[in-house]
Structures are given as structure tokens and as C-alpha cells.
Amino acid sequence: MTLTRLRPELRLRTSLMLLMVLAAALTFGLVGGAILSLRLPQVEQRALEQLQRRALNTARLLDLDLSGIEAQLRPLGHLLAQAAATEPQPVLDALTRPDSPFVAVFLLEASGRVQALGLRGGRAEAKTELRGADFSGNALFRALREQGAASNATLWSDKYLSTLAGTTTVALALPIDRRMLIAELDLARMLTKLERASQDAEGEVMIVDGRGQWLASTRSAVSSTERHLNYANLASVQMLDRGEAAPGREELFGEPRLVSAVRPDLLGWSIIASAPAGWGQYSYRVTVLLVVAGFGGALAISMLLAPWWAAVFTRPVQALIARAHAVAGGDYLGAWPGRGPIRELNQLGADLARMVKTIQTHGERLRATLDSAPAVSVQWYSLEGRVLYWNQASESMYGYSARQALGAELREQPLMYLDEAQVQAFLGILATLDNEGGSFGPAEFELRHRKGHAVIVLASIFAVPGEQGQKIFVCMDVDITAAKRNEAEILRLNQGLEARVAERTEALTAANEELQTTVEYLKATQAQLVRSEKLAALGRLVAGVAHELNTPLGNGLMVISTLRESLRNLQTEMNQGLRRSTLESFVTQADQGSDIAERNLRRAAELVANFKQVAVDQTSAQRRQFTLKEIVGEALLMLSPTTRKTPHHLRTVLQEDISMDSYPGALVQVLSNLVENALVHGLAECAEGEIMICTEAAAPGEARIVISDNGCGIPSEHISRIFDPFFTTRMGRGGSGLGLHVVHELVGNVLGGRISVFSAPGTGARFVIELPLSAPVQVTQPGDL
């Protein structure tokens, strides 16, 4: 028995409480996450817009302040220009009063020397020392000089250390004729006013000059390092230099910040407004904390409501569980819990009640079926071999009643088992099924009836769970005693049948051997007849050629005999006295005779050469190159003695340029057999018929030969058999039945082509042969057929 590790179990109420808390947490977590993912970018965008407005307002304020300073200085410049001869010192002293924005004002000559100057706080000694000093090296002086004397525009400087005031300042230069008025501003006073106007606890506004030097900041605690940093390398400042908008987020002061930067119209300074990004921003923190607080509140509420909700749900479930325990204990008739507020649990209770009733009904049906089954005996056993159930079929099969069998221990009362060894084997099977599971059988057992006769059964054994969790072993037996007797009888009959089958098999083997011998003899006879047919065709060829040679050779012999007679007459005349007329007559006769002899002998020589080529092709199975027209001509020459004796006509339509690499002897024999077949069968009853031979190029690499006649045609029932060996309609009248069979074998096996026939009674026959221009290399040679 295998042990499995049990998983920790939770009560239904605890599970429901955890489920409710988890559902609330998961729901608010998803909703809160969605809110934060949508709201936080909006918070940062709104903060960035506020920074942009602060930077723009600071730039406008700075432009307004600097414009006021220019407006204050320009009339005094006009006054100094109009009163050139007067002493400018009083005017300059008025500009450097303690309430004035200027800390130092000095008037430079065209050469750059100080003509007059005013300093805040008097300092007469400094005025005396600096009057006449050379300020031509002053950067603002040089810049205005390069701008041109004709220009009346003012010029602002970046931050620098003032030689006159001894402090960091910025200056404004105003041209006055050829002279120049330079006024140095009280930078701290001006920037303090800007700082007060831009103060904000959430962000910072910083002012940087055109060279990236820090000028002022609304943040009170600015370190010395931050004051002396070069801010020209900031991405926002560089983007302003390129005329682009600030990036929106930038690493500043060692932390990520939201940044917006603008540049005033009058100066090349940069106004940088920044605020902490992310968690460092107040609005960002408030948004996140509100969502987290909402999440915590929802979680707390769900934890408070979860016990009440779980209790409402578990009460009807516990009632169903209690009723299910009662059913498991055998109480099928008790009342089920009433309907509650939860529809699904009500449905579950109703379904469980119906299921219990169905199980009870099926159990009663099963027991009734087992009790009344006539052919299958069913017994139930415990692991120790005690009988727990015994149906009526078991009583009929073994002779023991249920009262006698129930409760019996097989070790003490073997019942239908033969001996103690058989009982121990049965108990061993039960132990194996208990340890390994599965089933046993079906297997044959020889048991014993109460009356003593043998009972052969086919038994199957398997385990089912009992009411207390133990295993009950079900044994189902089928009586096969009669079947075994029938099987033995059938075995006896089969042995006799096998003996008879062996005798008949031996007789059939002998008959098959005799039939095989006959078939081989018929094949040899067929081959001999085929060779005889070929020899007969060659004999006909020889006879025809001999007949053809008879005429030219006879004519030649007659001409030679005549010339010999004329020669004797000439010799006689010469002995008697040769006359001119006699000699001329002999010469004329000799010339005519030699011409006739030459023509007849040449004809004979052609016939012999053609006969020799045809004979070689047919007997040597030689493969060579030829033209199709040439081979058809040779076949017609061979057939001419036969065709001239008939009233029929042989016509040809031959294409000129069809060259082949094949077996000419086989092709000549095919054409000869088809023409002879037409003469013997198709045109035998025609007074005057016609045979047509046509050749043409077919598909690429193929040639087509069509041999047709206008004879009697072929009956439809004979079409499928005309190429079979020994099939003929002229048996006993000179027909062997091998002519078309030889044609079919030569076309298919030697020439590598196809032959088909088209005919109907009264319409003649048409044989179509399609051959490759280059015959395949064949194992079967023409001489073998």
C-alpha cells in the first residue's frame, strides 16, 4: 500500500474568508494600478505645465525689470550728450544713490579711458584713483565698439567681477556720441526681487547667464559647488541654444527632476524652472498615498465582512455534509435539509437526494440481477476467504445453498474446491489483487460439485470497495463443462479431417506437378511454332526473291545465248570473207544485247542486295540506324511476289525524314505479318481491295505507322483476343494463330512501342503502331521470339 503526502486542508469557512479578502485585494489592486497608471502621468504633465508658466512669468518679470533700468538710464545718457561741456560727475553721483539699482557708473572716452565715474557710498579716493584709468580692455567696451559707433542700441553683459565695485555684477552699456556710459547693476538687489516673486515650496527657479554661470535661485540653501557649476552643459540649456523646447525630465542636482526652461527677450540668460520628479513631487506622493489608503480600507472592510459572509454560506453546506455522512453510514431514509437562501446549494441538495435514491435503486437492481442470473455464478469473498455473498446460480452450479455457503471460511470448509492446495492458490490470488490491484482471469478451473462430479468453469476475479473501506473480492464463474466436452469432440473430428486434407493435398500436389509439366511442354511447343512461323516467313521471302530473280536472270541468259549465236555466225562469215554489213549488224546486236543484259543483271544485283539486307536483319537481330521509309520499302519488296498474285492494291504515304535507331528485322517482320494478315483475313472475300501504309512523326521522340485495309473487318467479340497465341478464325485452312501474337510481342518487347487495333464488321481494320525513334535496350532479342 503506497502512502501519499496529504496536502494541508482548510475549513470551508476559512477558505471563503480568504477568497473574499483575496478577491477584494486583487480587485482593488487592479483598479488602483489602473488609476495610478493613468493618473500619475497626468500629475507629472500638470506639474510640468506649472513649471513652464513659472519660467515664463519669471522671464517676463526679468524683461520688465531690465526694460525699466534701460528706461531710467537712457534719458540720463541724452542729458550727458547735450551737456558735453558740463561736468558729468553730478549726474553720475545721482545715478549711484543708495536707492538706485546701480552700484557703479562710469563714462569712458573714445579711447577707453575713464572720464568720470560714480560709486555707491562715495569713496572719493577710489574716484580719484580710477579717473583717467584705461578701460579699453573691458569686454563690454570692446563688444559695443565692435557693434559700431553709429548704433544707438544698448548692450547687456554676462556676470563678471566688477573692478570698480569689487562685487559680481552685470553691466549695461549705452553709447553717447563717441563716448560710452557703462552702468553696473546691483545684481543681488535685482535677483532678490526675482527670488521673492518666484518663491514656491514645491519647485525652484534658477537664473543662468549666457555662459552657463549661476546667477540666482529661489532655493535658499544653494551650495558653493552648485553656484560654481557650468550649467551650459544641461540638456535644457543646449536645447534653448538650438531653439528647441526643454526635454521635460532631466537629471539635476543628483536627482531626476521635471524641467522647463525659457530665455528672456533682452538677455541671453536662461530661466530654468524645475521640481522633483516621481516620488519627490508632492502631488505624486499624495496620489499614490490616496490609492494605497483606499486599498487598505477596502482590505480592512473585506476582512470585517468575510466572517459574516462565510458563515451565511457554510451553514447550509454543513447541513448537507451531515446528511451525506448519514447516507454513507447506510441511512438512506432520513430527511434532507430544507431550502435555504442560496439557489445553487438548494439545487445541490436536491441533486444529492436524487443521486442517493438512484444509487439505492441501482443497488437493488444489481442485487436482483445477481440473484437471478441463471448462467453466471457470483460469489463475494473477504481477503481471508470468508464467503460474503452467494447467488442462486452458484447454488445451481455447485450444489451448495446460500445458507450453507454464507459465512463459511474456505480454509475450514473448501466447498467446491478440490483440496487444500487449490484453496491456498485461490487465497494467493486474492492477496495479489489486494497488493497490486487489477483483475485476474478469465481463467479455467476444474472444481467439484457437491454430488462429486467435476465442474469446469471460466472464472474472473476482481476487487470492489466495501462499506467500511475494506476490499471485497468478486468471483464470477461461467460453467464451460459442456463446452469443453464439445471442444474435445471437435478436436477429434479435426484430427480426422486433417488426415483427409493431407491425402487430398498430396493428390493435388501430384496433379499440379503434372499440370506444370504440361504447361512447360506447351510453352516449348509455342516457342517452336513461333520459330516455325518465322522460318516459314523467311521461306516465303526466299521463294518470292527467287521468283523475282527468275525474270532478269532469264532475260540475261537469253541475251547471252543470242550474242553467242551471233558470234558463231560472225566467225563463219570471217572464214568466208567478212563483209562490212555483217560486221555492222553484229556490232549493233552486241550493243543492244549488252545493254539488255546489263539492265537485267543490275536488277538481279539489286534484288540480291535487298534480300541479303532483309535476311541479315531478320536472322541476326542487328540493331542499326535507318530511315523508316527505307524499311517500309524493304518490306514491300519482300511482299511484292505475294501481292502481285492478288487483285488487291498496296498504297503508301510515307514521311521522308523519320530516322530511327532500332531493330529493322523485327520491324520488317511486323509489317510483313500485318500485310499478310490483311490479305489472308481481311481481303480474302473481296474482289478488289486496298491496303494503305502510312508513316508520320507522332509525339516528340516517336513515330506512328498506320496499316489499314477496306476488308470485312473484325467482329467485336474477337477484338480483345486477336493478339492471343493460337487464336485464329482459319484453323485448319492455313492459319496458325501466331502471326499477330508475334507482331504484338515484337512491338512491345523488342521495339519498345505500342500497337492498337480499331475495327468493326464491314468497315475494314486499322492497326496503329507507335514506336520510339530510339528503341530501348532489351533483354529479349528479336531472335528469341
3-class DSSP assignment, residue 335: coil
Identify the pLDDT of residue 681: 83
Are 548 and 641 in contact, with CB atoms under 8 Å apart? yes
What average pLDDT does the segment 701-726 reach? 86
Is the omega angle on the peptide bond into residue 442 within 30 degrees of 0, that is, cis?
yes
CA angle 610, 611, 614 (to 5 degrees): 85
The model's pTM? 0.41
- Of 26-35, 357-366, 447-456, 629-638, highest mean pLDDT: 447-456
Helix (H) or strand (E) run with residue 307 in it: helix 282-328
Higher pLDDT, 489 or 342: 489
Pairing of strands 765-772, 754-759: antiparallel
Q: Read off the pLDDT of residues 697-710 as tens digits, 9 standing for 90 and up.
A: 888 889 999 999 98
pLDDT mean across residues, the chain: 78
Q: Radius of gyration over alpha carbons of the chain, in Å?
A: 67
pLDDT of 603 higher than 70:
no
pLDDT of 549 higher than 80:
no
Confidence of residue 76 (pLDDT cuts 50, 70, 90): confident
What would the grid cell of residue 303 be? 476582512
Q: Beta-carbon neighbour count of residue 189 at 10 Å?
A: 12
Confidence of residue 772 (pLDDT cuts 50, 70, 90): very high
Q: Beta-carbon neighbour count of residue 739 at 10 Å?
A: 20
Q: pLDDT exceeding 70 applies to what percent of the chain?
A: 83
Confidence of residue 770 (pLDDT cuts 50, 70, 90): very high
Higher pLDDT, 151 or 72: 72
Pairing of strands 255-262, 248-252: antiparallel
pLDDT of 694 higher than 90:
yes
Q: How is residue 143 annotated by DSSP?
A: H
What would the grid cell of residue 231 be? 550649467
What would the grid cell of residue 713 be? 473487318
Higher pLDDT, 218 or 783: 218
What average pLDDT does the segment 374-387 reach? 85
Grid cell 453510514 is found at: 329
What would the grid cell of residue 735 be? 492459319
Q: pLDDT exceeding 90 applies to what percent of the chain?
A: 4
3-class DSSP assignment, residue 266: coil
What would the grid cell of residue 601 be? 543483271
Q: Read off the pLDDT of residues 655-675 as tens digits, 9 standing for 90 and up.
A: 888 999 998 888 888 888 888
For residue 82, how many C-alpha atoms fall within 13 Å in the half-sphere facing its CB? 6
What would the grid cell of residue 215 be? 546667477
What would the grid cell of residue 430 be? 486474492
Q: How is residue 69 annotated by DSSP?
A: H
Q: Phi/psi of residue 266, each to 5°?
A: -80, -35
**Minimal CA–CA distance to 106: which of 97, 115, 457, 98?**
115
What would the grid cell of residue 411 be? 480454509
- Of 426-440, 576-590, 611-625, highest mean pLDDT: 426-440
3-class DSSP assignment, residue 751: coil
Confidence of residue 84 (pLDDT cuts 50, 70, 90): low
Confidence of residue 1 (pLDDT cuts 50, 70, 90): very low
Say which residues have a Cβ less than 8 Å from residue 341's Cβ, sequence separation at least 6: 312
Which range, of 7-11, 211-215, 378-382, 505-509, averages the lowest pLDDT? 7-11
Q: Read off the pLDDT of residues 386-430 as tens digits, 9 standing for 90 and up.
A: 888 888 888 888 888 888 888 888 888 888 888 888 888 888 888
> What is the rounded distance in angstroms from the CA atom of residue 88 to the CA atom of residue 79?
9
3-state helix/strand/coil string of 431-481:
HHHHHHCCEEEEEEEEEECCCCCEEEEEEEEEEEECCCCCEEEEEEEEECH
How distant, in Å, are the alpha carbons of 215, 390, 414 from that of 426?
A: 108, 17, 11
Strands annotated E in 44-129: 102-108, 114-119
What would the grid cell of residue 488 be? 474435445
**Minimal CA–CA distance to 703: which of 745, 749, 656, 765?**
656
Which range, of 17-21, 255-259, 630-634, averages the lowest pLDDT? 17-21
Total count of residues recorded for the chain:
785
Residue 691 burial (C-beta neighbours within 10 Å; 0-12, 13-18, 19+): buried
Are 253 and 214 in contact, with CB atoms under 8 Å apart? no
Q: Beta-carbon neighbour count of residue 47 at 10 Å?
A: 21
Higher pLDDT, 148 or 263: 263
* Ordered strands of the 454-465 beta sheet: 387-390, 376-381, 471-479, 454-465, 439-448
Higher pLDDT, 466 or 626: 626
For residue 278, the Cα-to-chain-centroid distance in whole angstroms is: 48
Q: Read off the pLDDT of residues 422-477 as tens digits, 9 standing for 90 and up.
A: 888 888 888 888 888 888 878 888 888 888 888 888 888 988 887 666 788 888 88
What average pLDDT does the segment 262-285 reach? 81
Q: How is residue 7 annotated by DSSP?
A: P
What average pLDDT does the segment 711-720 reach? 85
Identify the pLDDT of residue 373: 66
How distant, in Å, are the alpha carbons of 104, 117, 530, 654, 758 from that of 101?
A: 9, 15, 141, 128, 129
> What is the rounded distance in angstroms from the CA atom of residue 572 to the CA atom of residue 593?
20
